[in-house]
Amino acid sequence: MDKFANVGWPEMLLMAGVGFLMVFTVLVLLIFVMKGMGWVFTRQKKAAKVATKGAAAADEHEAITNQEIAAAIITALKLYKSNLHDQESEMITIHRIARAYSPWSSKIHGLTQLPERK
Amino acid sequence: MISLLQSNFILESLADFATTSGFGAFFAPGGWKFAVMIALACFLLYLAIKKQFEPLLLLPIAFGMLLTNLPGAEMFHSELFAGGHVHWDIFVDNAGLIDYLYLGVKLGIYPCLIFVGVGAMTDFGPLIANPKSFLLGAAAQLGIFATFLGAYVLGFAPNECGSIGIIGGADGPTSIFLTARLAPELLGPIAIAAYSYMALVPVIQPPIMKALTTKKERMIKMSQLRQVSKTEKIIFPVIITIIISLLLPSAAPLVGCLMLGNLMKECGVVDRLSKTVQNELMNIVVIFLGISVGATATADSFLNFKTLGILVLGIVAFSCGTAGGLLLAKFMNLFLPEGKKINPLIGSAGVSAVPMAARVSQTVGQKENPSNFLLMHAMGPNVAGVVGSAVAAGILLAFLS
């Protein structure tokens, strides 16, 4: 190729060296950009965490108070219910006798049944 | 009837048929080359099917190679692309199916479309969490520039050296993209070398990793990576595209497509597009790319000492890339405090080959310390290597085109 007629070892070495250096430079630049981005996001996350921590403490206090109220209500209900009896009919008369069908006591399936004659 | 049989017409016709048939071409001068290429294509098919060496690409490449070397079939016309550019004046009249498919390679369309799919399948989270990985990805590009010089030693022209060197990037689409522009006549051997060696990463890398690291270094446990927010993952592809495209416009097609695919995945609002580029589009392009790249491996362009040189240089490129990543990781450890040291094994993953190189780091690391999980740490340099090899390709393109 004519274009490369004047290319010799010095040019090749320079191309390889500069090329490798450029790859490094571009990727190192990306490291700084990504580090910067990471710093911004971790900072935001930390700030959000601190905010959440404050809110969480308040929530916790509220939760404890709520739990105490709930416990008091539950105890009151328990005491109230323990004084109550089930309402009963107070009738002891047997109204109805029902004999449930069972094949064990069935006369149709009894052993005395004769075989069919053909 | 008798006179018809006695005439030479039938015999001559049969003789003509025999000589013009594909079988006849095997016995013509130089016909043995076709037989060798067909045997080679069958061997590559065996490697793809039986040994599963990157079968998704090696299989269509091998079949394209088979098609192009069937004498008389004339599926691919290299003269339409002679001199490194498309001869549009004679293209429509002479082109066959594979010639039309090859336009996608020649015009740099397929590698970029594949990069959209690769981007949509890649998680840049480990790289965002640990940006130092970019350094390891850069160091592993040593293979590209060392092989660039190695190829010059063997007598290749500078543009060919660039195409051969990029094999060290261990990135198929990048190799094809650059070679189609710098040295299209070497596309077949370079694509085959790149994909074959990528499949051989688990064989090539471990001995180098063990030779360059001590047992103590291989046992280093790394601290857990920080969690990366969704917003960071969305901003990352946009920032990378802007910075790299402004710095290196020649790398913009590859990096831009890679980041477009990644943005589709991370933004979460175009799931349909993301799934399409990961699956349907990628698969279709792989078929076209494989067949057309394989078709460039004609007997004349493949059976020569250049191919042998490329195969040798390819393995040199992979080895130097692996060593570059490992050595930089060791060097970085000299300055890092105890507890923040990095396991040098993750440096070898800088040679792209996603995710196989990262898996090799994990496997070698676990052999020394079964409770060590390096996979996520190795994914950082691994995806940094993809960006790094695209940048290196852009630099070589800017220098040599």
- B159 vs A4: CA distance, rounded Å: 8
- Is B178 at the interface with chain A, CB within 8 A? no
- Is A28 at the interface with chain B, CB within 8 A? yes
Rounded to an integer, what is the distance from CA B167 to the centroid of its chain?
7
Residue type, A52: T
Taking an 8 Å cut-off on Cβ atoms, the answer to whether A4 and B157 are in contact is yes
Q: How close is the nearest chain B Cα to the Cα of A30, in Å?
A: 7
CA separation (Å) from B333 to B241, B258, B326?
30, 31, 11
- Is A37 at the interface with chain B, CB within 8 A? yes
In percent, how much of chain B has pLDDT > 70? 98
Q: How close is the nearest chain B Cα to the Cα of A24, in Å?
A: 6
Taking an 8 Å cut-off on Cβ atoms, the answer to whether A23 and B391 are in contact is yes
pLDDT tens per residue, range B238-249: 999 999 999 989
Q: Residues 59-98, chain A: which have Cβ within 8 Å of B? A: none
Q: What is the mean pLDDT of residues B135-153?
A: 93
- Is A45 at the interface with chain B, CB within 8 A? yes
Nearest residue in A to B230, CA atom: A41
Contact B151, B309 (CB under 8 A): yes
Within 10 A of B39 (CB to CB), how many other CB atoms are there?
11
> Alpha-carbon torsion B296, B300, B306, B308, what sign?
positive
Nearest residue in A to B165, CA atom: A16
Give the highest mean pLDDT range of A2-11, B5-14, B84-93, B387-396.
B387-396
pLDDT band at B5 (very low <50, low <70, confident <90, very high): low
Taking an 8 Å cut-off on Cβ atoms, the answer to whether B159 and A4 are in contact is yes
Please give the pLDDT value at position A22. 93
- A63 vs B185: CA distance, rounded Å: 75
Q: At residue B138, does pLDDT exceed 70?
A: yes
From the list B131, B138, B144, the residue facing A35 with the nearest CB is B131
Taking an 8 Å cut-off on Cβ atoms, the answer to whether B149 and A27 are in contact is no
Q: At residue A86, does pLDDT exceed 70?
A: no
CA separation (Å) from B158 to B137, B174, B177, B251?
24, 18, 17, 19
- B184 vs B181: CA distance, rounded Å: 6
Both structure tokens of A73: 């209500």
Cβ neighbourhood burial of B285 (10 Å; 0-12, 13-18, 19+): buried
Taking an 8 Å cut-off on Cβ atoms, the answer to whether A45 and B387 are in contact is no
Please give the pLDDT value at position A114. 67
Rounded to an integer, what is the distance from CA B248 to the centroid of its chain?
21
Please give the pLDDT value at position B262. 94
Contact A33, B239 (CB under 8 A): yes
pLDDT band at A109 (very low <50, low <70, confident <90, very high): low
Chain B residues within an 8 Å CB radius of A42: 226
Contact B295, B321 (CB under 8 A): no
| Domain residue extents for chain A | 8-82
ipTM score of complex: 0.82
One-character DSSP codes across B351-389: S--TTHHHHHHHHHHHHH-TT---HHHHHHHHHHHHHHH
pLDDT band at B188 (very low <50, low <70, confident <90, very high): confident
- DSSP 8-state assignment for residue B319: H
Within 10 A of A102 (CB to CB), how many other CB atoms are there?
7
pLDDT tens per residue, range B92-110: 888 888 899 989 988 889 9
Please give the pLDDT value at position A64. 74
- Is B134 at the interface with chain A, CB within 8 A? yes
Q: How close is the nearest chain A Cα to the Cα of B325, in Å?
A: 12
pLDDT band at A73 (very low <50, low <70, confident <90, very high): very high
